[in-house]
Amino acid sequence: MCGRFTIIPTVDFHERFSLPRGPAIAPRYNVAPGQEVPVIVRGDGNRLVPMVWGFIAPFVQDPATGRPVINARAETLLEKPSFRGAVQERRCLVPASGFYEWKKEGRRKVPFYLRLPGEPVFAIAGLWGVLRDAAGGEHRTFAIITTEPNRLVASLHDRMPAILPRGKEGAWLRPSPITPADLPSLLAPYPAGEMDAYPVSGRVNDPGNDGPDLIRPLPGFEK
């Protein structure tokens, strides 16, 4: 699964994702479920929309009582009633700079930070939805899609976020339908050779902590 990630925008962030020029986005070093972050959707062009991490199925009557889902498995997107509509109509890009996974060592779990050294900002495939509450308020939520792990991530976890190569971001956002034949190539594990991982402070375990120190390698693992 993917349960924490970072978004550290570069100066060319808007150009990178073909977005209209907008206000600077504050860096986030410990995004956790239930928090709001910017997500990219397709309208007349790419748009940046704030959404809460934790997808609520469209058939839920009351958003306040819906059970949020933070991850959706790539292999079953077209089978699950919660995701079938979203995968055809409401695909999104989740901008990220890295993500965390925890490795079990004895009785403790050590957090590791994973990133793409050649891509300071990249896109994770996601799904989004919008529900209205009884008062007419709109609730926009999203889930991150996960896929089989590559060799690097497999040493830490049995799933990884579906990171999209730059050349496939447009295909994921395009409004045309997705078929079962499309998914394996779009949502394949990102190449292990283009990623790295290193252990970081346990301070990341608390979602209330934020700051660049969270992605600093532990002593002896400096890059």
Catalytic residues: 2, 101
Three-class secondary structure of residue 18 per DSSP: coil
Residue 11, both tokens = 């100066």
* Residue 140: other Cβ atoms inside 10 A: 19
Calpha distance 17→40 (Å, rounded): 8
Residue that is written with structure tokens 């007419």 in the block: 136
Find where tokens 């790539």 sit. Answer: 74
Q: For residue 125, which phi and psi values (nearest 5 degrees)?
A: -70, 135
Name the nearest CA neighbour of 168 among 119, 128, 123, 129: 123
Q: Which amino acid is at 195?
A: M
Q: Could you identify the residue written with the tokens 């991850």?
A: 71
